[in-house]
Amino acid sequence: MNFDLLKEASVLVTGAGGFIGNHLTATLKNHGARVIAVDRTARDGISVADMTNVDEVKKCFRSSQEYFAKPIEYVFHLAGQNNAGIAHKFPFDTLQSSFQSAINILEVARNQPGIKNVIIPSTLGVYGRLDDQNEHALKESDRLVADSVYSATKITAEYAALSYVSEFGLPVRIARLANVYGPGQSNAAVIPSLISQMSNSQEISMGNMDAIRDFIYIDDVIEGLLAISLLDNQPQRVFNLGTGCGSSVKTVVEILTRILNFGGRIVIDRDKLRPNEKRYVVADIGQLTEATGWTPRIMIEQGLEETVLFEQGVPNARQ
């Protein structure tokens, strides 16, 4: 896709030290964007900022004027809890930090000149639980149900964002992400956890093997987010971002078993079975493809192979 419009654009990325934020920041810079990258922890090229503190959010916006002599044009708000399992373990912190940071971003952004788009990543987890016999790709018009702390934080942020669109005219886009995976992801997620377990032991611990998910490779996610950010004069505000194809966790295990030549055993760990876990979560991506022309390029087997190569330190593996 052509992202020439991002050249010399001023961009704020919150949560830039996270899995998606790290890849997004690198890609934006590769396209010539001028990036203010912030996270709670400092590292090369990333400044420290707490998005739950409105004064620090204002400072991030001012930084663009100071460094680039132009206001922030695009915001990718990736800060907040993006792991359903961790959200389940720490509900209060998740609810408080995720909602407060989203509100601060929206409130500061609405008073800033030159904002072209604020991107709020959400999740396919906001959709209600389907009947176990009902397997249909989720559409943006499907009902939303806060049946977990994680989904509640995302739904609340979505409604807040859309209220800023209707009441203040703030240009906001919401991207409901499928299950993102790829190089550099934390072992808190299922795929890197499996790779680590298979590489270092003869036994892997699993939760629900029958769950069917839409696994999307990080490169496709980044291109999708950039495509959404460049939308202009498009009334649609909410987009699913996935592959449109479902794979069971069991299938992922089988593919990784083959790639890693794993000969150990699989143990089901009851502690990894979450209440209210949905059986079938796959995105209908027709709306996004129609609006932007974006389509995913990397299917599950290729993505898993490239992720394993990276984790094994193979030269020239995708980063």
The tens digit of pLDDT for each residue in 1-30 reads 789 999 999 999 999 999 999 999 999 999
Rounded Cα gap, residues 191 and 206, in angstroms: 11
Residue 1 in any domain: the answer is no
Rounded Cα gap, residues 60 and 77, in angstroms: 12
Residue 271 in this model has a pLDDT that exceeds 80: no
Could you tell me which of 102, 90, 87 has the C-alpha nearest to residue 146? Answer: 87
Q: 141 vs 43, which has greater pLDDT?
A: 141
Residue 316 in any domain: the answer is no
Contact partners, residue 49, CB within 8 Å, separation at least 6? 14, 38, 39, 40, 56, 57, 59, 60
CATH of the domain at 153: 3.40.50.720
Residue 258 in this model has a pLDDT that exceeds 60: yes
79: Cα within 13 Å, side-chain hemisphere: 29
Residue 319 in any domain: the answer is no
Give the containing element (helix H, strand E) for 13.
strand 10-14
Q: Could you tell me the end-to-end alpha-carbon distance of the chain, in angstroms, rounded to an integer?
A: 19
Bridge pairing between strands 215-217 and 179-181: parallel
Q: What's the domain range around 160?
A: 8-311
Residue 318 in any domain: the answer is no
State whether residue 210 is helix, strand or coil. Answer: coil
Tell me which amino acid residue 97 is. S
Residue 87 in this model has a pLDDT that exceeds 80: no
Q: 112-129: string of b/e by CB count within 10 Å (b at 16+)?
A: beebbbbbbbbbbbbbee
CB 227 within 8 A of CB 264: no
CB 77 within 8 A of CB 228: no
Q: Can you give the pTM of this predicted structure? A: 0.93
Residue 110 in any domain: the answer is yes
pLDDT in tens, 174-189: 999 999 999 999 988 8
Residue 115 in any domain: the answer is yes
What's the residue count for the chain?
A: 319
Q: What is the DSSP string of 68-83?
A: HSS---EEEE--S---
State whether residue 243 is helix, strand or coil. Answer: coil
Number of domains composing the chain: 1
- pLDDT averaged over the chain? 91
Residue 119 in this model has a pLDDT that exceeds 70: yes
Residue 219 in any domain: the answer is yes
Rounded Cα gap, residues 175 and 129, in angstroms: 19
Kindly indicate the confidence band of residue 319, based on its pLDDT and cuts at 50, 70 and 90.
Answer: very low
Residue that has been written with the tokens 């991107």 in this structure: 119
Kindly indicate the confidence band of residue 67, based on its pLDDT and cuts at 50, 70 and 90.
Answer: very high
Residue 176 in any domain: the answer is yes
Contact partners, residue 138, CB within 8 Å, separation at least 6? 124, 127, 240, 281, 282, 283, 284
